[in-house]
Amino acid sequence: MANNVALLVVVAVAVLLAVTPATEAVTCSPVELTPCAPVIMYNQAPSSACCAKLQEQKPCLCGYAKNPSLKSYIDSPGAKRMASTCKVNVSC
């Protein structure tokens, strides 16, 4: 139950965030990374859907890392493992 509440809080915070697009082709929205929540919340392996969304949102990741509401998730061991597994290199 607590894990479900935590996941809902993450999604709610992401929905409430005002983000600006990093490029014309990608709309930066942390909600797009919802398929990756189990990686961070439950230490699961990233799914192909997660890797696809992570690759799609790559231009936005540095912006997310600068957002105090998202920084702890972006800097988490699960997120680092996810980036490595999905072969998404992030350099801010």
Averaged pLDDT, 54-81? 95
Query: Number of H helices and number of E strands within the chain?
Result: 6, 0
Domain count, the chain: 1
CATH number at residue 73: 1.10.110.10
What type of residue is 22? A
The string of pLDDT tens digits covering residues 21-52 is 444 579 999 999 999 999 999 999 999 999 99
Is position 39 within any domain?
A: yes
Residue range(s) defining the domain that contains residue 18: 2-85
Is position 62 within any domain?
A: yes
Is position 44 within any domain?
A: yes
- What's the whole-model pTM score? 0.70
DSSP per-residue letters across 31-48: GGGGGGHHHHHH-PPPPH
Is position 91 within any domain?
A: no
Is position 66 within any domain?
A: yes
pLDDT category at 10 given cuts 50, 70, 90 is very low
Is position 90 within any domain?
A: no
